[in-house]
Amino acid sequence: MGKRILVIEDNPASLNLITYLLHAFGHEAIGASNGAEGVESARNEKPDLILCDIQLPNMSGHDVCRELKNDDAVKQIPLVAVTAFAMVGDREMLLSEGFDGYISKPINPETFIDSVTAFFDDQSPVKALYNTADAQPSSTIPLRSAKPNGRKKSILVLDNTKANSRLMQVLLEANGFDVVVCSSVREALTRLAEKKPDLIISDIHLPEKDGFDFLRDLKDDEKLKELPFVFLTASYWGRSDRKKAAAMGADKFIVQPVEPEVLMSEISELLQSKRSDV
């Protein structure tokens, strides 16, 4: 069963990543962008767990800890520090202040959920996702199209940002897909020559050749031009990019951040429509 988790984080990118991961694995995330807002949310929402950055504007994570642990109404809620500061003695200092645990930055999508669920008494079964290929978190949409005729569908993900590609891999594999991750157009074309996937997800802004170059290469290849193609990008420059993508033959254009449920629904819809066209 998913948990309600309060995330106190002033960096939008970090907040988005943590929220994305929590949602992807069945948890409800409550965001707070500063310490004072976080303390208020903790008192009002009574979450199951609180993840708190240390370096916060105006009211630091240390102050948040002091406020919450001196409040009988919320002091029993596990409070976990999430911070990039990892000097010798930091962990012991945070624990002595009242934090119940410590997760270091940068966030590792592969181990983050394990770290979070370790603070729950019931040990959420989502931990098994990293060891059980067929397990699915409760919040992800079961995709019948992931295993047509007993075969897993495969997706090639092209993104040169390691955190983004790893996040996509974790999410897609949790939903039953085989995933191939590439960081450049050259690498992606090499992998495509070896084996055709059922779907391609590509960022736009890439080193050397960009996503539009990649799509053009695919459409010029008789063997690859019919592959379903999705642009998934956080670098969105307006309607011109979307129009260009559609004119070149991209099937979908999705702007990040996007809720995991929405993304999986879009992928499912595309795969189902392509099956019906066959």
Specify the pLDDT at position 236: 61
DSSP assignment, residue 98?
A: T
Specify the pLDDT at position 35: 96
Specify the pLDDT at position 16: 84
Is the per-residue pLDDT at 81 higher than 50? yes
Taking only the tens place, the pLDDT of each residue in 105-127 is 877 777 788 888 888 754 433 33
- Cβ count near 195 (within 10 Å): 10
All structural domains of the chain, each given as residue ranges with its CATH number in brackets, are 4-130 (3.40.50.2300), 144-277 (3.40.50.2300)
Is the per-residue pLDDT at 259 higher than 60? yes
Is the per-residue pLDDT at 214 higher than 50? yes
Cα(213)–Cα(143) distance, integer angstroms: 30
Is the per-residue pLDDT at 3 higher than 70? yes
Nearest CA-CA partner of 201 in 239, 139, 245, 243: 245
Which pLDDT band holds residue 104 (cuts at 50, 70, 90)? confident
Mean pLDDT (the chain, rounded)? 83
Helices within 46-196 (DSSP H only): 61-69, 90-97, 109-117, 162-174, 185-194
Percent of the chain with pLDDT over 90: 50
- φ, ψ of residue 39 to 5 degrees: the values are -60, -45
Say if residue 106 is preceded by a cis peptide, omega within 30 of 0. Answer: yes
Is the per-residue pLDDT at 51 higher than 90? yes
Q: Quick one: average pLDDT of 236-241? A: 75
Say whether 167 sits in a helix, a strand or coil. helix
Taking only the tens place, the pLDDT of each residue in 13-25 is 888 888 888 888 8
Is the per-residue pLDDT at 84 higher than 80? no
